[in-house]
Amino acid sequence: MTDEFLLRMEGISKHFPGVHALDNVDLEVRPGTVHALMGENGAGKSTLMKILIGMYSSDGGTITLEGKQVTIPDTRTGLGLGISMIHQELSPVPEMTVAENIWLGREPMGPMRLIDYKKMNADTQALFDRWEIAINPKAYMKDLSIAQTQMVEIAKAISFDSKIIIMDEPTSAITEREVDHLHRMIRELKADGKAIIYITHKMDEVFKIVDYVTVFRDGKLVGTYPAAELNRDKLIALMVGRELTNMFPKEDADIGDVILSVRNLNRGKLVRDVSFDLRRGEILGFAGLMGAGRTEVLETLFGIAKAESGEIHINGKKVTINQPKDAIDAGLALLTEDRKLTGIMGVLSVRDNMIMAALPKYSPNGILQRKRINDDCEDQRRKLATKTPSLDQLIQNLSGGNQQKVLISRWLLTLPDILMIDEPTRGIDVGAKSEIHRLMSMLAQQGKAIIMVSSEMPEVLGMSDRIIVMHDGQIGGIVERADATQEKIMELATGPDAAAA
Amino acid sequence: MTTETPVAARAFDLAGFIKKYAIIGILLLFIVLLAALTAGKFLQAQNLINVIRQVSAIGIIAIGMTFVIIARGIDLSVGSILAVAAVVGSSLAQLPTASNKMYAGLQLPAIVGILAGLAVGALLGLVNGSLVAGFHIAPFIATLGMMTAARGMALIYSGGRPLSTLDPAYNWVGQGDLGPIPVPIIIFALVAILAHLMLTRTRFGRHVFAYGGNEQAARVSGINVSRINLGIFTLTGLLAGLAGVMLSARIGSGNPQLGTGIELDAITAAVIGGTSFSGGIGTIWGTIVGALIIGIINNGLDLLNVSPFMQQVVKGAIIVIAIIIDERKNR
């Protein structure tokens, strides 16, 4: 039986520690079509594609390519089978030329197995001519703009002459003109019988170039639809349409006076003219798509990166924050997004990890007050029910949820008025998740003000008193708890350009 | 309540215990082995005191090195700084009768020479720290430059010759005894105790661990990373200066070639003692055990009449083995 599908992925599942990233997902792609994958952050799109190219292994399921079942243990095999991918995070080698980057790992060889640079550059030029890309093959990657870098990545993916080209948000970094260029390229590739799998958040693109749309939600397949049968509202409904069950909602807290007021904060492209107020007892949610600037706002407030302009008032007093210590002294705390990269000190004990930010309070003359440290850390461990055999245990041996609790303790010990939490429950199992939500409610009831950045819609809706939706470095809108719906937030997050389409 | 259980929720972690204290076992093993091979000669009190005295300078430098390596750095310049401190200290402690007296007619109390040696060491260390903290130069590069430059300074300052005929009060630091115990051993012990307290009981010490364990997280926690770099490199410089005074006092002359290669012995001692190049891990007692192992190997190989050339091969092998063990531990 001949297969009308070029690619069939059936019953694909993938677990990460604490997360069910993909649950029995199917995907069927026809040759000569553009097939969009859509869904919220963390819905499983990128994970599925990484399984397809061999970057991740799946926990179950089959992949059938042109009627033959295949296994793809690594990306080399994937490329060999005719599958290439443009990744969302670009990874060029900056100190090499454009041509060297494109042919990396498959350099044309001359006599004595020396690299044939002449051929390499000529091949690159031919590739660029064919696709009308105006970049010098001999230029160094480090001298290229982000948009040019993106075009090189696109050219590289095409140069494999793959049957399937996966594009993970290829237009997030390029301008309108280059988007048109890319869309032209995609139409040509399509005419050549290639299949393009296209991951995007941009609605307008979907209806311009896409033939089929497969929607994911929470690692599960919602369905595959011809793009012609969809419209913007239908698509949003499919993406977000989940019930808000088994969520721990925020308990009522008395909302008090304004404690933090931010005016016209600016830093680069990702923090543009951000102004808002935060009150005691309030949980202020920050929603938005990845790269919308939410994390950057927190980092700027906390002095990890310096603001270019803007004013911060705490309790009505203007404060200047040049480094995290200034922020801590002003009563701010920041629980960062990436637990491993900027949170835990893996080889240090739970006690050291807990006390680190508050250490000056516990060592007035530079000498540690060890009993006080021990007592207060024990107290935190009890209050947050952190599971660790002892405070001497290395934090890297704890589960993600318990590591997160230790980090929350780290900041609570600084006795902050304002707690900023970036993705409070990312990569944490359901039990610990609701404990952390309960804790946040409790802290709000004690009069702390909380800013929560979250990419999980139920968390944003369940926990926030107000929701700031960011888009492209700016505040796209502020939604009150009573008016907040997933559709509304999604609409503000995808921005005005999408609404116009 | 959640049902998750931490990975290491055991009453007694035998594997962890063995891993942690294996180094002491190795030390004992070496001692027993050498005692047997030398028919007890190794265990004589005089020989043991000798071993510790010989190791005291390396040990003091290794203690400084431990701070730096915990903070994910390295200090290659300690041997050269040691030499600068030795010639500066000696030049101020020369007796009027010295044939090559540098400052004719100058007669200062011995303490001036000693303090000058310490001060010049600390100062050069501060320069290292400033290069790392202020110009964001990798510690390896910054101290590589200092290693070369400071050796040159020692040679220029001394005119390339040892500065001899020193004040006996100065020499006491390297040659004297307090009761039955040589002064260098007492200094070594005091430095070790102070360093241990500093590392485990002060804010600075905890910050060093945090910085080495995760620099980004340390910054976010409000830790002033520049100050840590200034602190640790000044400390290693100071301790290198102290070792310089001790060694010049021991031989009674300030030789600009002193301390060549001692940085490698110090690094070896720290790493054998369990300090991790990946940062955030290390203890002073481990480093001391590491230094003792180096001393015992040196002494034992001497007693066994192993050629100095062969000794280098053995020591090299031990460094590599120690690092392999270190790598496995971090996996």
| Contact yes or no for B201 and A389 at CB 8 A | no
Q: Which chain B residues contact residue A334 at CB under 8 A? A: 220
For A446-483, where are the alpha helices, taking DSSP H only? 457-463
**Residue B206 falls within a domain, yes or no?**
yes
**DSSP conformation class of A464:** -
Cβ(B94)–Cβ(B101) below 8 Å: yes
pLDDT at B326: 61
Nearest chain B residue to A371 by CA distance is B201
Which of A356, A369, A391, A419 should we substitute to test contact with B (largest number of B Cβ atoms within 10 Å)?
A: A356
pLDDT at B224: 93
| Contact yes or no for B214 and A431 at CB 8 A | no
Phi, psi of A267, rounded to the nearest 5 degrees: -155, 110
Q: Does A388 touch chain B (CB under 8 A)?
A: yes
**pLDDT tens, N- to C-terminus, chain A (501 residues):** 456 899 999 999 988 765 678 889 999 999 999 999 988 766 788 889 999 999 888 888 999 999 899 999 998 899 999 999 988 777 788 899 999 999 988 899 988 889 999 999 999 999 999 999 999 999 999 898 888 888 899 999 999 989 999 998 888 777 778 888 999 999 999 999 999 999 987 777 888 899 999 998 878 899 999 999 988 778 878 887 654 444 567 788 888 899 999 999 999 888 999 999 999 999 999 998 877 889 999 999 999 999 999 999 999 999 999 999 999 999 999 999 888 889 999 999 999 999 999 999 999 999 999 999 999 999 999 999 998 889 999 998 888 888 999 999 999 999 999 999 999 887 776 667 788 888 999 999 999 999 999 988 888 888 999 999 998 899 999 999 889 888 888 888 887 654 443
Nearest to B78 by CA among B183, B158, B154: B154
Reported pTM: 0.79
Nearest chain B residue to A325 by CA distance is B222
| Contact yes or no for A302 and B209 at CB 8 A | no
Per DSSP (E only), the strands in B48-126 are: none
Laid out side by side, the sheet with A309-314 consists of A271-279, A258-267, A309-314, A317-319
Give the Cα separation of B277 and B222 in Å (integer).
Answer: 24
CA distance A341 to chain B (A): 7
Phi, psi of B163, rounded to the nearest 5 degrees: -95, 110
| Contact yes or no for A370 and B201 at CB 8 A | yes
The pair of three-digit structure tokens given for residue A170, joined into one six-digit string: 């290829």
**Residue B16 falls within a domain, yes or no?**
no
| Contact yes or no for B213 and A345 at CB 8 A | yes
Residue with tokens 């001949």: A2
What would the pLDDT profile of B66-105 be if each residue is shown by its tens digit?
A: 999 999 999 999 999 999 999 999 999 999 988 888 888 8
Give the Cα separation of A74 and A79 in Å (integer).
Answer: 9
- Nearest Cβ partner of B222 from A328, A348, A393? A328
| Contact yes or no for B206 and A368 at CB 8 A | yes
Residue-wise DSSP of A131-174:
TT----TTSBGGGS-HHHHHHHHHHHHHHTT-SEEEEESTTTTS
Cβ(A59)–Cβ(A47) below 8 Å: no
> Secondary structure of chain A: what % helix, strand, coil (to 5)?
40, 25, 35
| Host domain of residue B161 | 40-330
Chain A stretch 212-271, residues whose beta carbon is closer than 8 A to a beta carbon of chain B:
none
Which of B219, B220, B278, B329 should we substitute to test contact with A (largest number of A Cβ atoms within 10 Å)?
A: B220
| Contact yes or no for A366 and B219 at CB 8 A | no
| Contact yes or no for A387 and B5 at CB 8 A | yes
pLDDT surpasses 90 at B30: no
Mean pLDDT, chain B, integer: 89
A273-282, B31-40, B141-150: least confident range:
B31-40
| Contact yes or no for B222 and A327 at CB 8 A | yes
pLDDT at A290: 76
Cβ(A23)–Cβ(A220) below 8 Å: yes
Nearest chain A residue to B216 by CA distance is A342
Nearest chain A residue to B275 by CA distance is A347
Nearest to B170 by CA among B99, B252, B56, B87: B252
**Residue B22 falls within a domain, yes or no?**
no
pLDDT at A271: 93
Number of neighbouring beta carbons within 10 Å of residue A192: 11
pLDDT at A29: 94
The 3-state secondary structure of A411-468, one letter per residue: HHCCCCCEEEEECCCCCCCHHHHHHHHHHHHHHHHCCCEEEEECCCHHHHHHHCCEEE
Q: Each residue of A3-42: b (16+ CB within 10 Å) or e?
A: eebbbbbeebbbeeebbebbbebebbbebebbbbbbbbbb
Phi, psi of A329, rounded to the nearest 5 degrees: -65, -30
CATH number at residue B244: 1.10.3470
Q: Which amino acid type is present at position B1?
A: M
**Residue B34 falls within a domain, yes or no?**
no
**Residue B286 falls within a domain, yes or no?**
yes
**Residue B5 falls within a domain, yes or no?**
no
A173-187, A439-453, B154-168, B250-264: least confident range:
A173-187
Give residue B16's Cα distance to chain centre.
Answer: 27
**DSSP conformation class of A391:** T
Give the Cα separation of A214 and B230 in Å (integer).
Answer: 56
Nearest chain B residue to A301 by CA distance is B220
pLDDT at A247: 56
Q: Does B6 touch chain A (CB under 8 A)?
A: yes
Contacts of A187 (CB under 8 A, 6+ apart): A209
pLDDT at B13: 63
Q: How many CA atoms are closer than 13 Å to the CA of A109, on its beta-carbon side?
A: 6
Q: Which chain A residues contact residue B281 at CB under 8 A? A: 347
**Residue B143 falls within a domain, yes or no?**
yes
Number of neighbouring beta carbons within 10 Å of residue A203: 24
**Residue B31 falls within a domain, yes or no?**
no
Give the Cα separation of B240 and B120 in Å (integer).
Answer: 10
- How many domains are contained in chain B? 1
